[in-house]
Amino acid sequence: MRTIFWENNAVKLIDQRKLPDSFEILTCRTVNELGEAIRTLAIRGAPALEAAGGYGVALSAFERDFSDENELREHMKGRADYLASTRPTAVNLFVGIERVMNSALKGKSVEEIREIALKEAQRIADEDVERNMKMGEIGAELFEDGDSVLTICNTGSLATVYWGTALGVIRSAVEKGIELKVFACETRPLNQGSRLTTWELIQDGIDVTLIIDSMAGIVMQRGMVNKVIVGADRIVRDAVFNKIGTYTLSVLAKAHGIPFYVAAPKTTFDWEKFSQEVVIEERSREELIYCHTKCGKTLIAPKNVKVYNPAFDRTPLENVAAVVTEHGLIYPPYSENVPKILGL
Ligand code: MRU
């Protein structure tokens, strides 16, 4: 099933805040509802945000009536700005928004703008599935029987429209008959690893072991993992931005002589930029000081403690052994090979 889709003039998505406790589909009939779903991580993961951005722009054209195409265009611009303000780090969100805006604004009537916007948003979603399957096919060759792979966050079907990036590569490798074990970091504070990655892998019958984030060192030291693969929210000239803890894994992998791979589609590359230009999202103190359950929240730190809660970190490209893309494997030197393989 797709993580996000269009049905009856609404955007529907798997509500990832509820997993694995319950599986629920959230219906967003307005851009505000979708924006809130993005901000609160009901939908998350860079490629899924690309689709959400695209569908969000399309939704803005359907959420009410418009007297003419100019009024609609103005409304869409405002809604696109709002969608772009929901999360700052994953470049894919902006890619999805811009792509649909650029196509739709060429429409000459309300009807035409709506039709173009929806078609383009659907195309983004369809292309994501295709490129993930391609990445899986290409990345699977990095693995062999008996490998034990460490990963962080969720980079599976739930982080994309379907299949996944890093987890998609693992999935494809297993589908090809390669015997793999996966170690999943729980990924504090929102637990995308324990709640979502293990849930996806168990459903697929893939051998997965959950560890807390600070156990990454011991599993490497004891030879329990021999490869690391992660996703990316943005890849710039000198670094990969991904879920907080990714940098730590890359340093540990280097110290233990373990290859550290990244899997990401071309749209995650923001190759014009350098690290200083990327905004790392900082999230609320609530995420750290409370344990949230469906019965409510319990304090797990003094209420007045100082908190620092960046959601992503920066891994220098020199720590990355190869990047899996839908256009092929990219090895260092990245300054030469990224433009060569991706045409950027
Ligand atoms: O805060 P999240 O859950 O949106 O963070 C997601 C990640 O960091 C993923 O690793 C990244 O988006 C790649 S997903 C295929």
Note the pLDDT tens digit of each residue in 31-49: 999 999 999 999 999 999 9
Q: Is 233 a residue of the active site?
A: yes
Instruction: State if residue 73 touches ligand 1 by the CB under 6 angstroms criterion.
Output: no
So where are the chain's domains?
4-133, 142-342
Distance CA 111, CA 261 (A): 45
Domains 4-133 and 142-342 belong to one CATH topology? no
Q: Which amino acid type is present at position 327?
A: H
Ligand 1 centroid, distance to 64 Cα (angstroms):
32
Q: Does the C-beta of 88 come closer than 6 Å to ligand 1? A: no
Give the sign of the dihedral formed by CA 242, CA 245, CA 249, CA 255.
positive
Place of tokens 């890093």: 166
Q: Rounded mean pLDDT of 14-24?
A: 97
Who's near 49: CB < 8 A, 6+ residues apart?
38, 43, 87, 90, 92, 93, 96
The answer, yes or no, to whether residue 293 has pLDDT greater than 90, is no
Alpha-carbon torsion (96, 242, 227, 323), positive or negative: positive
Expressed in angstroms and rounded, the spacing between residue 154 Cα and the centre of ligand 1 is 6
* Contact (CB, 8 A) for 282 and 312: no
Residue range 82-101: mean pLDDT, rounded: 98
Is the minimum distance from the CB of 242 to ligand 1 under 6 angstroms?
yes
Q: State in Å: Cα 304 to ligand 1 middle.
A: 29
- Most ligand 1 atoms within 8 A of CB, residue of 89, 155, 281 to mutate: 155
Task: Name the catalytic one among 128, 147, 213, 233.
Answer: 233
> Quick check: CB of 187 below 6 Å from ligand 1?
no
pLDDT tens digits, one per residue of 297-336:
999 999 999 999 999 999 999 999 999 999 999 999 999 9
46 touches ligand 1 (CB under 6 Å):
yes
Model pLDDT for residues 97-113, shown as the tens digit of each residue: 999 999 999 999 999 99
Give pLDDT, residue 292.
Answer: 85
pLDDT at 11 over 90: yes
Query: 48 CA to middle of ligand 1, Å?
Result: 9
Could you give the CA distance from residue 309 to residue 193 in angstroms, rounded to a whole number?
Answer: 17
Q: Is 182 in the pocket of ligand 1 (CB under 6 A)?
A: no
Question: Cβ neighbours of residue 334 under 8 Å, at least 6 residues apart?
Answer: 317, 320, 323
For 196, what's the count of Cα atoms within 13 Å in the CB-facing half-sphere?
A: 29
Could you tell me if 226 and 142 are in contact, meaning their C-beta atoms sit under 8 angstroms apart? no
Q: Find out whether the beta carbon of 192 lies less than 6 Å from any atom of ligand 1.
A: yes
Q: Which CA distances in Å does 242 have to 24, 303, 343, 344? A: 27, 28, 23, 21
Question: Nearest residue CA, atom 8 of ligand 1?
Answer: 243
* Closest alpha carbon to 197 in 189, 206, 294: 206
Give dist(CA 69, CA 77) in Å, integer.
12
CATH of domain 142-342: 3.40.50.10470
Residue 131 has pLDDT above 90, yes or no: yes
Question: 209 pLDDT band (50/70/90 cuts)?
Answer: very high
Rounded average pLDDT over 74-81:
98
- Cα 32-36-41 angle, rounded to 5 deg: 150
Ligand 1 centre distance from Cα of residue 243 (Å)? 6
Determine the topology of domain 4-133 in CATH.
Four Helix Bundle (Hemerythrin (Met), subunit A) (1.20.120)
pLDDT at 294 over 90: no
Are the C-beta atoms of 61 and 104 separated by less than 8 Å?
A: yes
| Banded pLDDT at 79 (limits 50, 70, 90) | very high
Mutational test site, ligand 1, from 3, 40, 41, 44, max ligand atoms within 8 Å of CB: 44
| Cβ proximity of 266 and 342 under 8 Å | yes
At residue 280, the pLDDT reads 98
Structure tokens at 284: 């609320």
pLDDT (tens digit per residue) in 177-200: 999 999 999 999 999 999 999 999
